[in-house]
Structure 1
Amino acid sequence: MATPARLGLRAFRQSLVRQPIQRRTYASATETAGTGAVMPNPAVANESALTKFWNSPIGPKTVHFWAPIMKWGVVLAGAADFARPASALSITQNMALMATGAIWTRWCFVIKPRNMFLASVNFLLFTVGAMQTTRVLLYQRELKAKGLEEVGKDEMKREAGIAESIAKDPAKVVDAVKGSK
């Protein structure tokens, strides 16, 4: 005869095997689990706008509110760089701002609760980074064009010097060509 302890262990083991594995569903504080439906709260209807904002899932009690507030500092610092010359800007830094803004803007639309305030800050961060990156790339292209122009001018001066020496003493040039053979 089986002891009660062994019987309990077998029953426990069999229940694990026979039960299907279920996924857990997660919901925000205002949603019912698994359905995604928002639970009605009669007390919310009587609250003032300030109280609703204070108690909202993206209100000042949460990181969803303070993250965008702090990120405005990064956006304003990037915007302050519009006053700096393009030669003093870092392309890698501004490309990082652009990428960060794009990635986190997308993330703001995926998370629950959807945080439009954070999305707007990240979109402006992307915009500032894109504008500064464009300024730096245009400056580098201008430098490259000037560099080629300077090389062309130097080449023209060298050619002019050769032409001048040929015009002054053509016999010397002929002798120099005959001597190299």
Structure 2
Amino acid sequence: MSARFGLRFGQQSARQVAYKPFRFRQQIFRRWQGTAANPAVEGAPAQPQSFFQRIWTSEVGVKTVHFWAPVMKWGVVLAGASDFLRPAEKLSLTQNAALMATGSIWTRWCFVIRPQNMLLAAVNFCLFLVGTVQVSRILTYRSSQKGSQTEALKSMEKDIVDSAKGIEKKAEAKL
């Protein structure tokens, strides 16, 4: 027999309390926390909401981390995009490959989680694009350097051979 406190939650059996200890608190907060789909006042007719009211009461609205995390992540995208002005030899391949990988992984994840967060998906896709552009710049630069290095080595080899032939002719002339 349960103790009687005069409140509804005090009359629950031990089994109900063991599985749902916060049920009473959830029922109270559910009344006060409304969303666009579930108005705060039960039984009230659904009134059309303005755009700003929908943004304010949305699951990914301005009051949630689902809004502010992508807003802050735009700083990472802008920092990566500001590196477009830097020469390719000063960029890090591993850093930009990491930006590209995290952008692609988290873009996919944004479509799997609930609530779907399109703002987060957009910022991660832009992060993937920035990483891809930078990685392609770095690889293009490195491949052009390899080509110019082989050409430089061939021209140095030719100069050395020519100077050696010149020295050989001078030595033969003296003998």
- Which residue of the partner structure matches residue 132 of structure 1? 134
One-letter code aligned to 1:136 = I
- Which residue of the partner structure matches residue 58 of structure 1? 60
Q: C-alpha distance in 2, partners of 1:65/1:55? A: 12
Q: Percent identity?
A: 51
- Which residue of the partner structure matches residue 106 of structure 2? 104
Q: How far did residue 52 of structure 1 move?
A: 1.1
Following TM superposition, where does structure 1 have runs of at least 4 consecutive aligned residues deviating by more than 6 angstroms? Answer: none
Q: How far did residue 166 of structure 1 move?
A: 3.7
- Which residue of the partner structure matches residue 122 of structure 1? 124
Q: C-alpha distance in 2, partners of 1:87/1:43? A: 63
- Which residue of the partner structure matches residue 151 of structure 1? 153
- Which residue of the partner structure matches residue 49 of structure 2? 47
Seen in structure 2, the aligned counterparts of structure 1 residues 40 and 58 have a Cα distance that, compared at 3 Å, is closer
Q: C-alpha distance in 1, partners of 2:62/2:38? A: 22
One-letter code aligned to 1:127 = L
What secondary structure sits across from 1:60 in the alignment?
Answer: coil
TM-score by length of 2: 0.69
Q: Is the deviation greater in 105-114 or in 80-89?
A: 80-89
| Equivalent residues of 1:68, 1:117 under 8 A apart | yes
Q: How far did residue 137 of structure 1 move?
A: 1.2
Note the aligned Cα RMSD (angstroms): 2.2
TM-score by length of 1: 0.67
One-letter code aligned to 2:167 = S
Q: How far did residue 167 of structure 1 move?
A: 3.4
1:79 matched to 2:81? The reply is yes
- Which residue of the partner structure matches residue 19 of structure 1? none
Q: C-alpha distance in 2, partners of 1:44/1:115? A: 25
What secondary structure sits across from 1:118 in the alignment?
Answer: helix
1:70 matched to 2:65? The reply is no
Q: C-alpha distance in 1, partners of 2:137/2:90? A: 11
Q: How far did residue 123 of structure 1 move?
A: 0.3
